[in-house]
Amino acid sequence: MNAVLVAVALSLVSAVAYAAAAVAQERLASRSPGAGTLRLLGSGAWWWSVGLNASAALLHVVALRYGPLTVVQPLGALTLVAAVPMGARMAGRHVSAVEWKGTALTLLGLGAILVTASGPAPDDVLSVPEALAVAGATAAFIGVLSRPGTRPGLRHATASGLASGVASALTQTVTVAATDRTSPVLSVQVVGVALLVAAFAAGGLLLSQTAYRGGLGGPLAMVTLANPLAAAVIGLSLLGERLQGGPVGVLLALAGAGLASWGVVLLSRAAPAAADDHPVAAVLALEPGSATAEPALVPRPHDPGHLTPATR
């Protein structure tokens, strides 16, 4: 089988696992919006999401061994496509027409990007100085984005996407260098970059958990956009990867990126169905203890034949 096809297949399964993890994180964040790191460590739901993220990351690592960064990383946008129906099902609602439209546009855009990005398997890696420079610049940018202030969700999501994208680029360096038989498996380059990968992966996970306190759609869309952007910049500028097709390929990739971005924006802005439309909400509205229930009617003490709203 073609190496690029193997990378695409692994990336698809990885995207589904990442989507399940994102939905689990969002549900945990909505139930415990102020939970700190220590409290998360004692939560079974948190470790379930960590396990899903770890499985997805492992598949992603293998995909990077078979395909170039410019192919594997854009497929990460399918995480949002998979998370939309998953999140809707967990919330007990149907996927809206706007969400389906955003999904279709995202898929079309990704298809256009893949046509131009289907280059050979990677054979170049970041040197130790390059890896340190990328890590330092990214860490500084993440520090600015994650500062205290208003609207932390989108800023933390952007920082999470950058951390994950850089971790992917560094992971490719580790996998290619570790399987290169001309150098030791546990060389300084492999060990040092592997530690950076662990730091950025853990940071990205915690940043996304904070971002999901504001909901799933918008933050996940920001993660989806920032992640491949960071990885593509590294791949094209430092790893020698190139888009296929010359000027026409560049235009097609730009058009695909525009379509995918439009789809992601639609997915992030799509408003879920109102709670009153859900059958469970309708049942709750009929219960006397519900805040939306109609007031119960009881006889007035001095006029048994007249009904008045009961007081609580």
One-letter-per-residue 3-state SS of 229-267:
HHHHHHHHHHCCCCCCCHHHHHHHHHHHHHHHHHHHHHH
Tens-binned pLDDT, residue by residue, of the chain (312 aa): 678 888 889 989 998 998 888 888 888 877 765 555 666 666 677 788 888 888 988 898 788 778 776 678 778 778 878 887 887 787 777 888 888 888 888 878 877 877 776 655 555 677 888 888 999 999 999 998 887 765 667 788 889 989 988 987 888 778 777 776 666 667 777 888 889 988 998 888 888 888 887 777 778 878 877 877 787 788 778 877 777 777 888 888 888 888 888 887 787 776 554 433 333 333 333 334 444 444 444 444 444 444 444 444
101 exposed, middle or buried (CB, 10 Å; 0-12, 13-18, 19+)? Answer: middle
Nearest to 244 by CA among 113, 125, 136: 113
Q: Which residue has the tokens 């909400």?
A: 281
Count CB atoms within 10 A of the CB of residue 286. 10
At 13 the pLDDT is 92
Tokens standing for residue 182 = 């001309």
At 219 the pLDDT is 81
At 284 the pLDDT is 31
Tokens standing for residue 214 = 């504001």
CA-CA distance, 101 to 12, in Å (whole number)? Answer: 20
At 141 the pLDDT is 92
Nearest to 157 by CA among 245, 76, 221: 221
CA-CA distance, 169 to 188, in Å (whole number)? Answer: 17
The values of phi and psi at residue 299, to 5°, are -65, 140
At 124 the pLDDT is 67
At 37 the pLDDT is 62
Tokens standing for residue 147 = 């500062």
Strand, coil or helix: 40: helix
* Measured torsion, CA atoms of residues 103, 205, 171, 87, in degrees rounded to the nearest 10: -20
Q: Which residues pair with 308 in a beta bridge?
A: 298
- Give residue 164's identity as a one-letter amino acid code: S
pTM for the model stands at 0.68
At 138 the pLDDT is 93
Cβ-Cβ contacts under 8 Å for 308 (sequence gap 6 or more): 297, 298, 299, 300
